[in-house]
Structure 1
Amino acid sequence: GRLTMDVHYQLDNGKLTADNHLFIDQLTFGDRINGPGISHLPVKLAVTLLKNSQGQIDVHVPVSGSLDDPKFSVGSLVWHAFVNLIGRAVTSPFRLLSSAMGGGQDLGYVEFAPGSDVLDADAQSRLAQVVKILQKKPSLKLDIIGRVDPKFDEHGLRKVMVDELVQQEAGRDVNLAKLAPDTYDKYLKKAYKHAKFPKPRDLIGLTKSQPPEVIHKLLETNMPVNADALRHLAERRADAVRSWLHGKIADERVFVLAPKLDASGITDKGKTTRVDFGLH
């Protein structure tokens, strides 16, 4: 490939501030070299992320330092900044790609309501942006990782399961969200009647009549939410994303990986009830 550099260095009282504008056209790689002291950075993925549709990389690598520092070296500063750029490209690829397309949103995940595997309007909007990115980067492949956070999903899944029981009583063509409270409570009581778990009884052994809020709580408490149920929720979330992408991105570019069953490793401010994305 061809490398063009435009550098601007400013020195003020021993303080160096520099901007290195790098323009690389049609960069390709030779054979991998192994040996002591050779750093093996994930440069191929980073280069794929940084290239535009014409195969060009256009980046600014700013550096600064003090000439009074005995360890000061312009070369090492530029190299360190370049390594950091590659690191950001690999650890936050969707934020980098979104910024390159004029946005600033981190598209590395889509969120779900606790206990739910339904893609809401915001999640679908984010997926549409992911599709645009992948269409402009045809060499990239997408990894999908369904996740759950038991702290939120356990309770959320119980509520969803109760609504599913009510839906069975009301019928599949009924929109529960549009039911009047009295009508919803009617189907809730039917679901409670048909549910198979020990219910509070009166002095003569009959099932006690309960107000709707107590019925709902009893149903939630007795829903079979365990590790398997949470795993299946994570898998359904991943499948919901895969299904939404079908027909928009070639299936051979989409990979569903093993689910993650806790919130470990999430450092951003997004919901922990989500599907994460990766690129390779």
Structure 2
Amino acid sequence: MKNKRVLYVSSEVVPYLPETEISSMSFEAPKMVNSKGGQIRIFMPRFGNINERRHQLHEVIRLSGMNLVINDMDMPLIIKVASIPKERIQVYFIDNEEYFKRKATFTDEDGNLFPDNDERAIFFAKGVIETVKKLNWAPDIIHVHGWMASLLPLYLRKYYKDEPLFTDSKIVTSVYKQEFDGALDDKMLDKIKFDNIGEGNVEILADPTYSNLLKVAVDHSDAVVIASQEIPADIQEYLTGYDKPVLEYKNREEFADAYTDFYNTKVLNLG
């Protein structure tokens, strides 16, 4: 992995949010690549329940100030950055007052999904890509964790398909256990089609369930990591016909060597 550039895009990362399977692996995998001489960058949303003072987040003026169009609305993009103590790893935070100021991640105090989670996911995907473009940092591998990051493969392959910075980037999506029940806004597909994305099996997002979001991510990725011992049965079945590399589940003690081998022998060697 020496000198390889790996971009991690995750919905949650420790120590900024509580420890979960996703937040832990979104820290452990970059730490592992970093220790092997790779170059890494991590992106996550700047949720309002992240303590900016404690974690010393600060705005990067040269990267902020752009507007992203979401469903025909101009939404200002703010970029913040922090460093994980002792690890020399920088984390970039995608922020917008409308989408991320509230003091919660995905659900309200009653456990209901926020009605604009679909727009937040679109904004996050576009925000990451536009920021990486500004950094002029061409990743060899882009590794996606968590459903709020799941639109990134679709947008890279369709909306940004002519962007030369990502021509040689390989996309890996990690599939975790069911992260939410129900579905996102039923107008989500219309909002994606507003960006002139109407092909590539996006029609299943007429019903934007967790499984359908991940199936779209899988379809537009170059490889898949099964990141939980149990993933939804329909995704497991979907992967039986998948003709791209799949890494079976590895626990925290096994993952480092397995990920390194998978990146080196399967992902980076893809044509």
TM-score interval, smaller chain: under 0.3
Larger gyration radius, structure 1 or structure 2: 1
Structure with the largest fraction of helix = 1
Q: TM-score normalized by structure 2?
A: 0.24
Q: TM-score, normalised by structure 1?
A: 0.23
Higher RCO (CA 8 Å, separation ≥ 6 residues): 1
